[in-house]
Structure 1
């Protein structure tokens, strides 16, 4: 089974300009761009991919387009999270049968859940899914619920098919606890760009990054430097990567990511309502900010 390591991109989902339809043809061009930049994995239809703003059927069709576009050239993980576990089960079944390499499921959200309820949610959603690696997805800033090492261990003990966690908490102590206090065969990947080198040194398997969806080359360079033992080179790359990430709002704004990606020649279209593409004033301000940073890090669009 393929598992996440290195640089995984939290992929954007190309939509039509008005954001009402998935642009399936544009997915191929976008995936080719990411693969050519050397990414190791693609995390499709997650937070950055507007997955929770799409219908179940839209998510299925979009995933099929991503799988076809990737064509085995990188590890393709399908985000299958939803508020109702019946929908999670449906999306998981589709992801596996369609040829995804694995899946991720965000923790239950909106309501505040006890730890035993979170464990039950994941176990019920993934029952009878075998030989298909699944990652827990911890993003408490949006869900209001944490996946702790204890919760992760309880889930992994009862379902070893759940092989790791994607942590986007931004809390490095929590990440360190996930790395040190879960089972050795349980993988940790992290969505905290400004700490990419640090989390690799801590023992994480890699990153799942929104800004890497636009500027993957810095992430790939840092990972390669780390693997070669060039820590000083990786530190220098981390400084540049951090500047870029900050200029992109740390990946929190999908309209910003799609706008800057279009400036790189890859059209990802509009955003699903109520998200909105930037107005002219916002565009001018962003352009100045991005161009300034690109000049500093010696990179062009």
Structure 2
């Protein structure tokens, strides 16, 4: 059994990427944040991730990111795996935040491919290799989301990292190129943890050997997103497929504007948070918020009454 074999078994299923709620004055609403974490765990989410794309990390200071991580770790209290996002476009910040995650006892860290500066594949390799070497006992999950970072980590680069860095154990692929994600497991090994970060690929990635998903939609229906994995694991392929199609309308409306703006609008409509983002992010238009509400009524109970799908 390899060093990370046990944790690789635990890090499977729906790892919910939690939003960071704000008060009206844009300070962090930690009470709502804690309630969201409890709700996710009670609803069946298999793990919790914070300060990833959905958690608006680029709108947080470094100190705020650390505080969010600390509060999440304390609130989870070992009930499910804790996987904070510790990546940045700044190499030293990534090192610092990843070491902080290790110090606070995170189960793994999710590290995004640096955004905006569009590094070469050679530079990506050096960045991730140095981060991995700095925390050899902390499992790391690469986060590849070319649509937002402007850079796609090539399969060959990821495969070299997986071989040279034993603690790089998986990847969250928010990559619509399904040929690419197939080749990840072919080249990195079938035991490499492949997570879907694309909502419409959560079920398909399980079919090719994926470990689960890190889906923004889990913020709205954590039970159903977790059930896609649970049904698949239990051999109920039809139920997993049914949930996949059932959630398509919700997935579609939640990505008609940039994540997490529609999520926060929806969670506000559900009474879970105050729907506040920090500029340059903002809530969707009134017409889209109305559309989100209409779709949402098919899935969850809204204050004032509804139909549950």
Instruction: Note closer, same or farther for the CA distance 1:146–1:70 as it changes in structure 2 (3 Å cut).
Output: same
Residue equivalent to 1:88: 94
Q: What SS does the corresponding residue of 1:188 show, helix, strand or coil?
A: strand
Q: CA deviation at 1:17?
A: 2.2
Q: CA deviation at 1:251?
A: 8.2
Give the alignment partner of residue 263 of structure 1, picking from 269, 293, 296. Answer: 269
Structure 1 residues without counterparts, runs of 5 or longer: none
Residues 102-141 of structure 1 mapped to structure 2, 5 A cutoff: 102-141=108-147
TM-align CA RMSD: 2.1
Residue equivalent to 2:19: 12
Residue equivalent to 1:101: 107
Q: What SS does the corresponding residue of 1:127 show, helix, strand or coil?
A: helix
Q: CA deviation at 1:294?
A: 6.1
Residues matched between the structures, number: 298
- Please say which of residues 178-187 and 205-214 is displaced more in the overlay: 178-187
Residues 1-301 of structure 1 mapped to structure 2, 5 A cutoff: 2-3=7-8, 4-19=11-26, 21-249=27-255, 252-267=258-273, 269-278=275-284, 280-291=286-297, 300=308
Contact 1:156–1:162, Cα closer than 8 Å, also in 2 = yes
Instruction: Note closer, same or farther for the CA distance 1:250–1:167 as it changes in structure 2 (3 Å cut).
Output: farther
Q: What SS does the corresponding residue of 2:82 show, helix, strand or coil?
A: strand
- Please say which of residues 35-44 and 190-199 is displaced more in the overlay: 190-199
Greater relative contact order, per chain length (Cα 8 Å cut-off, separation 6+)? 1
TM-score norm. by structure 2 comes to 0.90
Structure 2 residues without counterparts, runs of 5 or longer: none
Distance in structure 2 (CA, Å) of the matches to 1:90 and 1:54 = 15
Note the alpha carbon deviations across 1:152-208, whole angstroms, 9 max, x for none.
Answer: 121122211111111101221111111222134421111122122211011000000
Q: CA deviation at 1:142?
A: 1.0
Q: What SS does the corresponding residue of 2:130 show, helix, strand or coil?
A: helix
Q: CA deviation at 1:238?
A: 1.1
Instruction: Note closer, same or farther for the CA distance 1:293–1:14 as it changes in structure 2 (3 Å cut).
Output: closer
Distance in structure 1 (CA, Å) of the matches to 2:278 and 2:14 = 26
Q: CA deviation at 1:100?
A: 1.5
Distance in structure 2 (CA, Å) of the matches to 1:148 and 1:299 = 44
Distance in structure 1 (CA, Å) of the matches to 2:298 and 2:275 = 24
TM-score norm. by structure 1 comes to 0.92
Contact 1:67–1:100, Cα closer than 8 Å, also in 2 = yes
Instruction: Note closer, same or farther for the CA distance 1:253–1:114 as it changes in structure 2 (3 Å cut).
Output: closer
Note the alpha carbon deviations across 1:88-114, whole angstroms, 9 max, x for none.
Answer: 111011111112111011112212322
